[in-house]
Amino acid sequence: MLFERPQHLSADQILERLRTAGSRVSKATVYNTLRLFSQCGLVHEINVDPTRKFYDSTTHPHHHFYNADTGELTDIPADQIGVSGVPELPPGTEQQGIEVLIRVRERR
């Protein structure tokens, strides 16, 4: 379901879609499978806040807009954001990547 097209889904959204389709999969199985997919590099885990996590079927480097009002996560191509002034890395480490999450909300 997550790999049908590029998309960002939470574990609860996946569980709801599976159950709507007639699956009797448990919540624990969905969470455990997503954790395994993430560890294997099949999906990218995105933490938008301490209580909300999405799973992204697009694994190449890119960034995101997160709309706090709608809960929607939208891709930003990697070449549309430049990062400068990266601090010196801690001794014995190497940079693995940089991910930018821009939080937005509807104008009021």
29-33-34 Cα angle (round to 5): 120
Q: What is the pLDDT of residue 57?
A: 94
In the chain, domain spans? 8-81
- Looking at the domain covering 8-81, what would its CATH class be? mainly alpha
Q: Which residues of the chain carry a pLDDT beneath 50?
A: none
> Within a 10 A sphere around the Cβ of 89, how many other Cβ atoms?
9
Q: What is the pLDDT of residue 1?
A: 85
Q: Beta partners for 56?
A: 8, 44
Q: What is the pLDDT of residue 91?
A: 96
